[in-house]
Amino acid sequence: MNTTTIQAEFEIDSWDEVPYEEPSEGPKLTKVVIRKTYRGALEGTGVAEVLTAQGTEGAGYVASERIAGTLEGRRGTFVIQHGGLADGDDQTTFGTVVPHSGTAGLAGLSGRATEAAHGVLTLVYTFDS
């Protein structure tokens, strides 16, 4: 199997944030729905449901995102689950394509998906077919 790495730039089209806990001490907890437009190696749209913990020195998020678009000329949808942590200026991210989430031309897609740079999704992937 050939592994391919792409960096897909995206723009955030909407950011709808609703706090669900704002304690007097400790990080605020929120739920955010983010809608994106991808351009470049991945053309399409994404919608993510994100849970965040937003503190003064540390923060984190976890997200499930469905992407609908075209990758390598193949059109379909797939789901990624990704997240990140910030400890001051030190940031880490993680993510994966949900197994067997690809549809239509993107069936068989697997790999890793991270947002290590602002406005850029890095996708390291293979197709099993």
The pLDDT > 70 percentage for the chain reads 98
8 A C-beta contact, residue 15 and residue 50: no
Query: What would you report as the CA-atom Rg of the chain, rounded to the nearest whole angstrom?
Result: 15
The per-type count for the chain, helices as H runs and strands as E runs, is: 0, 8
Considering the chain, what is the average pLDDT of its residues?
Answer: 95
What's the pLDDT tens digit per position in 71-84? 989 999 999 999 99
User: Which amino acid is present at 63?
Assistant: A
Through-space distance between the first and last CA atoms of the chain, rounded to whole angstroms: 9
pLDDT score for 116: 77
pLDDT band with cut points at 50, 70 and 90 for residue 129: low
pLDDT at residue 105 is higher than 70: yes
The CA–CA distances, whole Å, from 80 to 24, 41, 56, 58, 66 equal 33, 17, 28, 24, 7
Q: How far apart are CA 87 and CA 29, in angstroms?
A: 16
pLDDT, position 49? 98
Q: What is the pLDDT of residue 74?
A: 96
pLDDT at 42 over 80: yes
Is the sign of the CA dihedral 91, 65, 3, 41 positive or negative? negative
